[in-house]
Every structure is written in structure tokens, then in C-alpha cells.
Chain A
Amino acid sequence: MEVRVQNIRKEFGRFPALDDVSLDIRSGELIALLGPSGSGKTTLLRLIAGLESPTDGTIFFGAEDASKKTVQQRNIGFVFQHYALFRHMTVLDNVSFGLKVRPSSRRPPAADIRRRALDLLELVQLSGLEKRYPAQLSGGQRQRVALARAMAVEPNVLLLDEPFGALDAQVRKELRKWLREIHDRTGHTTVFVTHDQEEALELADRVVVMSKGAIEQVGTPDDIYDHPVSPFVYGFIGQSNCIDVTLSSGEIWFEDRPIGLRAASEPDGVATLYFRPHDIELIDGCGGCLAGLVTASRRVAGTRHLEIDLGKAHPPVEIELPPERASSTDHTRVAFRPTKWTLFRKEGDVAAVSRQAEAPVSELARTGT
């Protein structure tokens, strides 16, 4: 089912956890809410579920206004971070709980409930464990019971709060793949919360990047990675470097020299240049480039990461190169130029006003390729 979040605001006491958030979730999609802790992603999930009520704003399930409905009436499936399995019930009783508590007019016969619960346990590959208690299961198995329990009520939307947060890395990877398969097979509209970008980018159809109670960007994993719309997204997703630069008649200057990048339509002033460590080319002989001494070099799997000191006033930048290109550059001077980059400007900086550390950020200024 399609879920539309409109201008939602949520305050805890006087602290706004979410500020004017709007989001359209398409029917049948698997969407991730990604952000650091305190970004409001779990609050948004709980608001959709009806476990919290918004201070302001509306949530639609299809064409229906769900804001006025209780959590029971919304018919959602919620998987909690620590699963919240009923510890005194067997796996089978846990999975059938949602059907057993229905009023008799809507409750399927006991035999049907049992069959449906067993079918779900088969779907989550836990056949044969229906008589176990939660304490007798591994973390990954508990997680799957929680998912089966949530799916048993045929929810309008499946909501998962940090579904893999409490699992070790190996199990996490397996379950991630498996969740994608389950989603493709059952087609439930699914929203999950995560702080793990790898998880979000790998698993979701679309990713919602959140920060400080607001949505920074919504897009496919490719969009989010290749075209970040804000410095926050650039910095939060993947690796990135940022350096302070100056614009002068369409040229980008670093300190006292142009670096060979042009932003023709941009007015003069200061700006911040963002680029990813692997989006660079090495240049022989510097006619417009960034240059500095290699201060550290690390081999990470198939690439070599070089840390480069651009000068005392700047934080070091990191670039990634194929190992064969980098072997000769240790402790030497390298010259390079970003091949894909983005300029962000702070409001008021256009006329070369003095820089402010935490000033609000204006629209994406210009993206170069």
C-alpha cells in the first residue's frame, strides 16, 4: 500500500525530533530511512506505525487518512530492533499472536491460523523450530521469527527498526540478501530504518537520507551516491573530501592558484569543493591541479589509499589509486585533479563574505564532471 507522509512535525517536549517532513512511499517498494543517530529516522518509522502521534501533519495509507487511526487499526507489521518476541510463547504462538487476538468476527479458524503460521515459518526458513521458545534461538533466528510474526497479519506496510542492528556481521549480510528475496516474493511495502549506509544502498529500492529531523535527500542508491544534493549527504554516504576554494571569473582557485576546474556560471566568492577519493586523475607536471605530499599510504583490498597534505591550513585529503599507480608515489609529491566534483556555497558567501563554520547551505551550486 502507498504511504504518504505530509508535513509531519514531531516534538518531544520542546525538542523537535522531526520538522516538516514529507515523503511518498510507493506501493511495493523497499525503502530505507538512513541517517546518524538522532536524525529522527526511528521517530518517523514509529509515526507511520502509529506508535507515536505527530505534533502536526498527516499520514495517508492509500487514500485514507491514517493519522486519526490507532496502531491496531492501521494494520501494520512492525519488527523491533531487539525483536520484542513474547518470551513465554513458543515460536508458533508468537507468529499466530496477531491472528489469535482478532475479534471472533475477523478471526480465522484455529486450524487456518496454525497453517498460516507454519507457512510463514517455512517462508522464513524456520520449519521444525515452531515449538522452541525465543530464548532457545540464535539472534538471526529470532529476527526471522519477528518478521514472520509481523507478516502474519497481512500488514498494509511492513516497518523494520534497525532490523540487523543486533546481529554480527556475517549473519547480517546473509539476512540482508534474504530479506530482499522475501520482499521480492511477497511484495509488501517495506520501510526499514538503518544507520548502516552499506545496508541501505545494497538493499533498498530508494534511500531516504535524514539528518537533524529533516530529510536531506530521497533517491535510488545510485542517485544518492552519484549526485548528493547537500554537503551532509556527500559526507555521510561513502568517502569524500572537502576543501575550501575561491571562485574567480568562472575558475576555481585553491589558495593562490587555479586548479584547472571551471564553474563558468558561478559568481565570484568562496565555496567548498567536494569530491570522492576515487574520482580523481593523477597529473604529470602541474598546470592547474591540487598538489601535496603523501603523508600516509594504506593498502585496502584492491586499491591504495593515499593521504595527502595540501598545506597547514587544510585538513588532509584522501585519494584512492590502483596499487600499481601508487607504488612509486609514497612520501613524494603528487599532483591530481578531481574528475567528478560538486561545489557547495554557504549563504552570503557569494560576495566573498568571511566564512562561517556552520552557516546554512544554499542550493547545490554546480556539479562538474
Chain B
Amino acid sequence: MALDTSTAPTASSKLVKAATSETRVARLTLIAVALGFVALFLLLPLATVFIEAFRKGPAEFATALRDPETFSAIRLTLIVAAISVPLNLVFGVAASWAIAKFEFKGKAFLTTLIDLPFSVSPVISGLVFVLLFGANSALGPFLQKHGIHILFAVPGLVLATVFVTFPFVARELIPLMQEQGTSDEEAALSLGATGWQTFWHVTLPNIKWGLLYGVLLCNARAMGEFGAVSVVSGHIRGQTNTMPLQVEILYNEYNFVAAFAVAAVLALLALVTLVLKTALEIRYSDEIAASRRH
């Protein structure tokens, strides 16, 4: 695809070279470097995961996945993602809307705050919740008395995941919404639309692609998060282990096939997300181009 621009004019191109065209050697070298890098650092590890998972054949792979603890880890990961992604979707849209469309005091502060989970180590993010809800915390006795389990249970995992994946949707949407400005919304309002109608018919269609990317990224991270989740999970087998935690436990037990089998499923989920995104991009390429260009 990168090559097809150079092949068009033959006789004249020898005389006057287009300003942006490189020599053949330079072009091939650049492409080779890029592809080589991708192969070495992305494809090779990914391939290793699948090769290791199937090292002892598909039967072993299937047995590893049929293990109830592993099965429970997959289920838990999907549950946590299913709760935290919608939460961050709603928050991300609300925060971007507020930041992009209104002027208010503390706006710069809010923008910085949204980035906080990116700059804080995930382990610390997890630790925060332990300090907040742990037995020795101020809230601890109250929670214990009422039998509310947050740490070492699904709520804790969800909280930690929400915290870590907090910025994905908002980060994707804020620049987009800022660029689009408020005149589309003003136009809808001036035509008599209510706030909700404006959101559904005008704002949401304008941001849907950015929103989709944000959700996909958020989802990938929610399923793959290790550090923060590790701190709050308590590693109770078959109960509070998510897939990344299960991978670690199996690996530490030298159960390589099982560890890589779970890792392969996790990688597959990520790949499905990627394929889905690419498929949507191809399917709606005209619409995406139109919405960017206009």
C-alpha cells in the first residue's frame, strides 16, 4: 500500500522526483524496520503464548480450561469487565461532556484528576482500597458489622478495575468533543430539541466512534488488569481470582500448559476486540471519514 504511489509515472519521474518520495532503498529499509520490530516485540510473544498453550496437544489445552478454578476465573473476569466498563462508559461520557462543553471552576483540576490512574502505579491503586476498606481502616468495623464484603470479593475487584480503567473513555472523548465544539448541540436546541433528544440524536452519533474505541480499550484493560486487582483480590482460588491472577498462580506452580492456556484465552479475547474494531472500521469507513472531515 505504501509502495503504490511511486510506480505511477515512469519516464517523467526520473527527471523530477516528487518532493515527498524517498529512494527505493530508504523506503524498503523503513518498512523492514517497522515490520521487524512489530514481529519481534508483538507477534513473537503472542505466538509463544499459543505455542506453549498447545505444546502438549489440544486435549491438554481443553483439560486445563475445564478446570473449575480456571473456569471460575474466566467467569469472574467477564463479570468484572461487564460491570466496570459500563460504569466507566457513563462516567467517561459525563466527564467529557462537562469538560468539553461547559466552562466551570476546577475544570483544569478535573482534567488532571482524570489522568491520575495513568500516572499512579496500579499496585498503589489497589492498596488505596485496602487502606480504605480493610479491617484496620475507619470503615472496616462498620463494614464487618453489617456483613458487607468489599475486599477479597467482587465489589473490591470492580472498584480497583474501575479506578484503573477510569481514563480510557474520557481521554478518548475529551479531545474529540472539544474539537467538535457546541454548535451542533446549540443548533439542535434552537430547533426545539430537549436536552435528551439533543444527546441521543446529535451528540451521541457525533462521538460514537471515539466512544467505541474508548470502550474497547477500557474493556481490554479491564480484563487484563493485574496489579491493582492482585492487591484487593486476596487470591482465593475459584472465588476471587481473575484470569491474569490465575495465570500467575498456575505459572508459579510450574503448570505451564494451564498457565498458557488461560493466557491464550485472555489474548484471544483481546484479539477478538481488535478484530471487531477493525471490522467496524472497514464496514463504516465512509461514515468515519465523513465525520472526521466535515
Contact = CB atoms under 8 A, between A and B. Distances in A.
Given A84-B186, A133-B290, A135-B293, A153 B191 contact: yes
Interface of B: 183-184, 186-194, 197, 201-202, 205-206, 287, 290-291, 293-294
A80 B197 CA distance: 20
B186 A87 contact: no
A77 B192 CA distance: 10
A248 interface: no
Interface stretch (A54-62, A96-104, A188-196, A231-239): A96-104
Looking at chain B's contact residues, the main secondary structure is: helix
A51 B186 contact: yes
A50 B192 CA distance: 12
25 contacts: A71-B189, A71-B190, A72-B190, A75-B192, A78-B187, A78-B190, A81-B183, A84-B184, A86-B188, A86-B205, A87-B291, A87-B294, A88-B291, A97-B188, A97-B193, A97-B201, A98-B192, A101-B191, A101-B192, A135-B291, A135-B294, A149-B187, A149-B191, A153-B191, A153-B192
A30 interface: no
A149 B190 CA distance: 11
A90 to B, nearest CB: 12
Contacts of B290: 87, 133, 135-136
Nearest to A136: B290
A49 interface: yes
Contacts of B201: 86, 97, 101
A35 interface: no
Interface residues of A, number: 29
Given A87-B290, A134-B294, A101 B184 contact: no
A172 B197 CA distance: 34
Interface string A213-248: 000000000000000000000000000000000000
A262 interface: no
A310 B17 CA distance: 57
A102 B192 contact: yes
Contacts of B183: 80-82, 84
A135 to B, nearest CB: 4
B187 A84 contact: yes
Among A71, A81, A84, A102, find the residue whose CB has the most chain B CB atoms closer than 10 A: A84
Nearest to A50: B190
A76 interface: yes
A98 B191 contact: yes
Interface string A41-73: 000000001110000000000000000000110
Interface string A101-133: 110000000000000000000000000000001
B202 A86 contact: yes
